[in-house]
Homo-oligomer: A and B are copies of this chain.
Amino acid sequence: MDAAVQELVDSLPQGVVVTTPAALDKYRYDWTRDPRVGMPVAAVRAETAEQVQTTVRWAARHGVGVVPRGAGTSLSGGSMAVDGCVVLSLERMRAVEVDTTARVAVAEPGALNVEVKRAAGEHGLWYPPDPSSYEICSIGGNVATNAGGLCCVKYGVTTDYVLGMDVVLADGTLVTLGGPRIKDVAGLPLLKLFVGSEGTLGIVTRVVLRLLPEQQPRSTVVATFPTVAAAATAVVGLGRTVRASMVELMDNAAICIVEDHRPMGLDRGAGALLLVQTDAPGAAREDEPAAITAVCELAGATEVVATDDPDESEMLIEARRLFFTAAEARGSIMPEDVGVPVPLLPDLLAAIAAVAREHRVEIPVVAHAGDGNTHPIIVVDRSDPDSQARCALAFDAVMAAAISLGGTITGEHGVGRLKAAALPAQLGPDVMELTRRVKAALDPQGILNPGVIT
């Protein structure tokens, strides 16, 4: 073993560091399963903030890259290993404590999103952000990517809930930013700078999260539209009239893929489905579904079904839940998460359909439509080099389409390594230069999550 690696092993308790190829295999890949993944020299399974500091100090001394890793569910290559790096896994730092009077959860980064939700729920409280992967993704990863989800159309994204954090900087210093205070503007907003920085500026070892009272029961409305444009008109109308807690869209390709996978009577001729929920309290649960239905019908919905029964709600949104399983049944998937201003959703979906035709690939789309954030899912046959090549071109073309509509290459997954090459086209040279200046100020050696963002 390399002398530097031996030094790392010796500086941490037994069992914290692994270095064998077999043991490292678990820490190399994230959910992109990207074949360009590198081979780390070690993986540290830190148990404390001090061990994170020890690891980062060692990395700084030896100029070794540090790839932080929560649950490894990144969809943008944010937690895949690079050659010669050390993977810093936070999987063992999983404590969650709830302070009911301050109404916060204090969580370690390896805790899963669902574990935070569950701990809050035990006290009648609620942690809203709900990425689709909430049962398997870590809260540290959520903070690193400023993760979104389905209810953020009403309740906001991760950054809106982060009140404080402990973060280990590139030289191993641990700083505490913010705390269990709901309002605090003392000093530069450094806390906000770390949320969504994808592990490139520091490694979060503890996070203080704002909680809300438990969510009220939800009512569900599902509307069928002849065209995506009609559905988008409804989305704009909804945004102006009600505060829906979920506004999801499935395009025709997504509907057909689900119906192929499990026939459930979806309309294969529909241009789009909208799945809308409201959690308005008390008797307003009767008013809002009516308002949602009216907006959808005005926009040209051909069929609208509404229910306030929880079981029936689940059935109605089953198609949306099944989508990823249905898509994966057709091949490997390359999920994107491009976004545009809400009114441009039809233009983006038309552009994506054109990309699919041009490159002869399947690209069904589901979208957090209320936020203008779409998930075009490129279905790739990994055993076919031609399919892979066409999908790679389509992946870039979808991002280019979003940028050309004044949109973003990533609404919630992060830039990671997979989208880093596309970032300058969105941000332009001046913002990239600003990005590099901030990165250099905080991580002059460039050891934190190298290759991500910049």
Number of copies: 2
A187 & B427 in contact (Cβ 8 Å cutoff): yes
Taking CB as reference atom, which chain B residue is nearest A440?
B441
Proximity bits, A173-195, B CB within 8 Å = 1, else 0: 11111011111111111101101
Apart from A102-B343, A188-B201, A190-B438, what are 14 other A-B pairs with CB-CB below 8 Å?
Answer: A102-B342, A156-B160, A181-B340, A181-B372, A182-B371, A183-B371, A184-B411, A187-B423, A188-B200, A213-B241, A280-B281, A282-B284, A438-B438, A441-B441
Assuming the contacts A179-B406, A240-B213, A437-B441, asked whether A189 and B282 have C-beta atoms less than 8 A apart, the reply is no
Beta-carbon contact of A101 and B283 below 8 Å? no
A413 at the binding interface (Cβ < 8 Å)? yes
Give the Cβ gap from A123 to chain B, nearest Cβ, in Å: 8
Inter-chain contacts of A391 with B (CB < 8 A): none
Across the interface, which residues of B come within 8 angstroms of A426, CB to CB?
A: 186-187
Task: Verify B184–A189 contact, CB threshold 8 A.
Answer: no
Q: How far is the CB of A102 from chain B (nearest CB, A)?
A: 5
- State whether B430 touches A175 (Cβ < 8 A): yes
A434 to B: closest C-beta gap in Å:
6
Q: Which of A19-27, A36-44, A63-71, A144-152 contacts B (4 or more CB under 8 A)?
A: A144-152
Contact of A281 among B200, B288, B407, B412 (CB under 8 A): B288
Complexed CA–CA distance, A373 and B212 (Å): 18
Are the C-beta atoms of A185 and B145 separated by less than 8 Å? yes
Residues of B within 8 A of A146 (CB): 185, 189
Q: How many residues of A contact B (CB 8 A)?
A: 92
Q: Within the complex, which residue of B159, B185, B200, B434 is in contact with A412, where a contact is CB–CB below 8 Å?
A: B185
Is residue A141 contacting chain B, with contact meaning CB distance below 8 A? Answer: no
CB atoms of A183 and B412 under 8 A apart: yes
Q: Which residues of B contact A342 (CB under 8 A)?
A: 101-103, 182
Known: A182-B372, A240-B103, A438-B438. A453 touches B188 (CB 8 A): yes
B103 touches A239 (CB 8 A): yes
Closest B residue by C-beta to A145: B185
Interface centre among A179, A184, A193, A441 (most CB of B within 10 A): A184
Contacts of A148 in B (CB 8 A): 183, 185
A–B Cβ pairs within 8 angstroms, 10 of them = A175-B431, A181-B411, A182-B373, A185-B413, A186-B408, A186-B426, A187-B426, A193-B438, A283-B284, A438-B441
Please give, as numbers and ranges, the residues of chain B lying within 8 Å of A169 by CB-CB distance: 434
**What is the CA–CA distance of A183 and B282 in the complex, to the nearest angstrom?**
30
- A367 CB, nearest partner CB in chain B, Å: 11
CB atoms of B280 and A186 under 8 A apart: no
Kindly state the separation between the CA atoms of A186 and B78 in the bound complex, as whole angstroms. Answer: 13
Q: Give, as a whole number of angstroms, the nearest-CB distance from A288 to chain B.
A: 7
Give per-residue flags for A338-378: 1 if the beta carbon is below 8 A from chain B beta carbons, else 0: 01111100000000000000000000000010111100000
A431→B190 contact, CB < 8 A: yes
A439 within 8 A of B: yes
A196 / chain B contacts, CB cutoff of 8 Å:
185, 188-189, 192
A293 → chain B closest CB, angstroms: 15
A317 contacts B by Cβ under 8 Å? no
Q: Are B339 and A159 in contact (CB under 8 A)?
A: no
How close is A1's CB to chain B, nearest CB, in angstroms? Answer: 34
Nearest CB in chain B to that of A344: its residue: B102
Pick the contact of A423: B186, B195, B197 (CB < 8 A).
B186
In chain A between 229 and 274, which residues have their CB closer than 8 angstroms to a CB of chain B?
236, 239-243
Nearest-neighbor residue (CB-CB) of A232 within chain B: B101
Q: Which residues of B contact A195 (CB under 8 A)?
A: 189, 192
Which 7 residue pairs spanning A and B have beta carbons closest together?
A283-B283, A282-B284, A441-B441, A192-B192, A183-B411, A101-B343, A282-B287
Asked whether, in the complex, the Cβ of B188 is within 8 Å of the Cβ of A193, the reply is yes
- Check: A326 CB closer than 8 A to any chain B CB: no
Tell me, yes or no, whether A124 is within 8 Å of chain B by CB.
Answer: yes
Q: What B residues does A103 contact at CB under 8 A?
A: 236, 239-240, 342
